[in-house]
Amino acid sequence: MVIRVKIEIVPGLKNPRKEHRFDMDLPDNATVKTMLMEIGYEEKEIEHLMVSISNKLVPMEKKLKDGDDIFVWAPIGGG
């Protein structure tokens, strides 16, 4: 079975793909982490990313569902 998710990567964040908004087909057991690796992020980059689904922060182990609306971003610090 395949699930389809909608993904948005915040502009300005390193993006292995050319577009910032796209749909993606993934296997039904896909997690946030496997999705990020499928997009093209390396393991060392993933640990610095934050992901929200339907405006809620989720862990990398979160299993994705068909139709999930996903936003990828990185925290910014300053002071």
The CA-CA-CA angle for residues 44, 50, 56, to 5°, reads: 155
| pLDDT in single tens digits along all 79 residues of the chain | 688 899 999 988 888 988 889 999 999 999 999 999 999 999 999 999 999 999 999 999 999 999 999 999 988 776 6
Task: Quote the pTM value.
Answer: 0.89
Q: pLDDT at position 79, please?
A: 62
Domain boundaries, the chain: 2-73
CATH number of this structure's domain 2-73, picked from the four choices 3.40.50.10320, 3.10.20.30, 3.20.20.80, 3.30.420.40: 3.10.20.30
- CA–CA dist 71, 61 (Å, integer): 15
Q: pLDDT at position 65, please?
A: 94
